[in-house]
């Protein structure tokens, strides 16, 4: 069945690669991001995510009037400010929380009961979900929270399949202007293919790490519709 797919953070990098795949597969795709991607066949809509939580809610509601009947939510957006906890200002903390946790939670809340079939959710976190880092205290907390959001909503029988994918660094424009060494980072197309493969098949919940050096996938947990473990080997 062809679906209406919303990709938040889909204008570049991993999100854009996912958009390319789903468009080529015949789905109706809407992407949000900083700029309209150079990709035919996608609908682009603005979604302004700032430190203003009320404005974020309004922006979400506006988006959902312009792209409707969403079957699948793919959340790829991220915002990171580095520094020890006392070095990160209030606006940066609020923006990280709004981008990484508030927005996906509000989207799921609003989308849950809009269709006759359960909503499918794909949440892309990062290795910061499970790796504490001194200079990423809020970013790590937000990514861990996003992963836990996926693990928790799957207990709701009205929610469909939930995939939580945690890639280690991907070589994209996300790192532009930083001093991060991207030479060993994962290829965005490879990660996109991995996520598509992970999302296929019968399951209710799946959590996977997508690792590098060497590039590989480690499935941490898979549950069936009764929340019983599925052997992924």
Give the separation between CA 226 and CA 228, rounded to whole angstroms: 5
What confidence score (pLDDT) does residue 86 get? Answer: 97
What are the tens digits of pLDDT across the range 153-203? Answer: 999 999 999 999 999 988 876 666 677 777 788 999 999 999 999 999 999
pLDDT tier, 231 (very low <50, low <70, confident <90, very high otherwise): confident
* pLDDT for the residue 34: 83
* pLDDT beyond 70 at 65: yes
Quick one: pLDDT at residue 180? 74
Residue 85: predicted pLDDT? 97
pLDDT value of position 118: 95
**In this structure, CATH architecture of domain 4-223:** 3-Layer(aba) Sandwich (3.40)
Higher-scoring residue by pLDDT: 5, 183: 5
So what's the pLDDT on residue 175?
Answer: 63
Q: Is this structure's pTM higher than 0.85?
A: yes
Please write the tens of the pLDDT for every residue from 74-104: 999 999 999 999 999 999 999 999 999 999 9
Does residue 232 surpass a pLDDT of 80?
no
Residues 6+ apart with CB under 8 A from 102: 53, 56
Share of the chain above pLDDT 90, in %: 85
**Is there a contact between 171 and 187 (Cβ–Cβ < 8 Å)?**
yes
Q: What are phi and psi of 136, to 5 degrees?
A: -135, 45
Partner residues linked to 74 by β-bridges: 7, 122
| Predicted local confidence at residue 182, as pLDDT | 73
25 vs 231, residue with greater confidence: 25
């Amino acid at each position: 069945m062809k679906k209406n797919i919303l990709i938040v953070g889909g204008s570049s990098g991993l999100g854009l690669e996912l958009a390319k795949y789903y468009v080529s597969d015949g789905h109706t795709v809407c992407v949000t991001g900083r700029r309209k991607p150079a990709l035919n066949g996608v609908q682009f809509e603005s979604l302004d995510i700032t430190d203003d939580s009320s404005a974020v809610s309004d922006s979400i509601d506006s988006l959902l009037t312009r792209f409707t009947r969403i079957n699948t939510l793919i959340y790829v957006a991220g915002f990171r400010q580095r520094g020890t906890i006392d070095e990160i200002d209030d606006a940066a903390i609020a923006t990280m929380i709004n981008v990484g946790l508030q927005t996906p939670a509000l989207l799921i809340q609003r989308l849950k009961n809009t269709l006759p079939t359960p909503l499918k959710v794909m949440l892309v976190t990062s290795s910061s979900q499970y790796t504490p880092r001194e200079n990423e205290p809020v970013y790590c907390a937000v990514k861990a929270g996003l992963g836990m959001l996926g693990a928790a909503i799957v207990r709701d029988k009205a929610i469909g399949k939930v995939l939580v994918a945690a890639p280690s660094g991907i070589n994209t424009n996300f790192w532009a202007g930083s001093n991060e060494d991207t030479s060993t980072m994962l290829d965005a197309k490879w990660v996109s293919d991995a996520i598509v493969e992970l999302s296929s098949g019968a399951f209710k919940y799946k959590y996977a790490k997508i690792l590098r050096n060497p590039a590989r996938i480690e499935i941490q947990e898979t549950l069936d519709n009764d929340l019983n473990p599925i052997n992924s080997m």
